[in-house]
Amino acid sequence: MTINVTANSAGSVTSNYAGTSYANPGMTFTTTVNAPIVGNINVATACYANPSPTLTTTTVT
């Protein structure tokens, strides 16, 4: 991802995980699980971080 920023004064840009609930997740996965009786099955997972952690902070000068 590329973000081009033009600023009139110094500041910062932060990125955080999205999502506020299991109905509005910030991350989703599909994992293949080997179940002993039925074999491989795909399991959907949804999660969100609360509080949402800061992943990056970029200073703009």
Judge whether 56 and 15 are in contact, CB under 8 Å: yes
Nearest to 28 by CA among 40, 15, 14, 45: 45
pLDDT, averaged across the chain: 87
Q: Residue 9: its pLDDT value, please?
A: 85
pTM across the whole model: 0.49
User: Is a pLDDT exceeding 90 seen at residue 53?
Assistant: no
User: Could you tell me the pLDDT band of residue 34, with boundaries at 50, 70 and 90?
Assistant: very high
Domain ranges of the chain: 11-60
Nearest to 22 by CA among 48, 42, 44, 43: 48
